[in-house]
Amino acid sequence: MPWARLGANILSLGSTLALATALLFAVAAPALAQRAASSGSACGGDIGLAVPPGGGTGTAAILLHRREIVTNLHVVDHRCTGNTRFSFWYGYSNGRSRASIGATIVARGNYCRSARRGTSADTEDWAIAVLDRDPAAGGRMSQRPMRPLGLYAGSMSNLESANGRYFLMGYGMAFRSGQTPYASPACSVSPTATSDVVEHSCFASARSSGAPIVFRTPQGACKMIALHFGELRDGARGGRHGARRGGASNVAILSRRFEAAASAVARELNQGKSATQIAADLRR
């Protein structure tokens, strides 16, 4: 009997410890997540979901101009049909958006052409789009300050020197089922064998495609250094969403790859040109 009672007491103690651990995690996890989510508001934070016809979503960020956004081409034209239109759910969170706005792709990388030829398409998986209207124009949003991200196109050595100051802003199915935007904990980047593609340690999962990796300069400006597009597994392209698993590395395209196109789009928007005019000018 004493041994039976001792065994019962040990089991009871184990259950109590397990319950205490579970309760501690339940309290701590939301706090950690809240810090991750709120840190994005300190640096830009003007992101939303890119939603193409036929379903499938990814992250998109407002870049350089209030009506300019950037995402992955595989998010908005995943079948490589030449699609030019999709919806931008600005500020999407828990089933609601601050605004749902149509967007027109005006510049894109050669992702589809490279993929059809069987050559590396990683550095070309980007798309710049123009929104049909300013997300904050009119209504209750008109007084809200918007913070389009700037672009940083420095050298790889300069980027590595700032490791630990970067974070990814976006959505991810591994964070509240992709229903709430988040900012990852501080992370780092490192070069890969492919020019203008970096490996990164930022938290990412399905729906993170198109998420910007950013940092805040000493002057307070928010700069985008890279565009997350997926993962590499054992040196080969894996799933595009970027779920980090054994043997897999999250990867991103450096902003300098599309800096010229993004800057040209911003200039033409400032001149009052339409998406159709901008797309035609960039094709010349």
Convert the pLDDT of each residue in 53-100 to its tens digit.
987 789 999 999 999 999 999 999 988 999 999 999 999 999 899 899
Please report the pLDDT score of residue 141 as a whole number: 52
Q: Fill in the DSSP letter of residue 267.
A: H
Residue pair 243/174 in contact (Cβ under 8 Å)? The answer is yes
Please report the pLDDT score of residue 74 as a whole number: 92
Please report the pLDDT score of residue 140 as a whole number: 55
Which stretches of 52-177 are assigned E, i.e. beta strand? Answer: 58-62, 68-71, 85-90, 99-108, 127-131, 150-151, 167-170
Does residue 226 sit within a domain?
yes
Rounded to whole angstroms, how far apart are CA atoms 10 and 18? Answer: 12
CATH number at residue 165: 2.40.10.120
Does residue 1 sit within a domain?
no
Contacts of 251 (CB under 8 A, 6+ apart): 122, 192, 197, 198, 199, 200, 228, 229, 230, 231, 232, 242
Helix (H/G/I), strand (E/B), else coil: 20: helix
Strands 127-131 and 182-183: unpaired
Does residue 220 sit within a domain?
yes
Does residue 230 sit within a domain?
yes
Rounded to whole angstroms, how far apart are CA atoms 154 and 251? Answer: 18
82: left (phi over 0), alpha (psi -120 to 50) or beta: left
Does residue 216 sit within a domain?
yes
- Domain extent at residue 92: 45-277
Q: What is the mean pLDDT of each run of 10 residues along the chain (284 residues)?
A: 42 39 32 40 75 88 95 93 95 90 96 75 92 80 71 89 92 82 93 92 89 88 92 53 55 95 97 97 93
Please report the pLDDT score of residue 147 as a whole number: 79
The pTM for the full model equals 0.80
Does residue 82 sit within a domain?
yes
Convert the pLDDT of each residue in 19-53 to its tens digit.
333 333 233 333 334 344 443 445 656 899 999 99
Please report the pLDDT score of residue 118 as a whole number: 64
Does residue 169 sit within a domain?
yes
Domain count, the chain: 1
Does residue 28 sit within a domain?
no
Helix (H/G/I), strand (E/B), else coil: 94: coil
Q: Name the residue among 195, 206, 58 with its Cα closest to residue 124.
A: 195
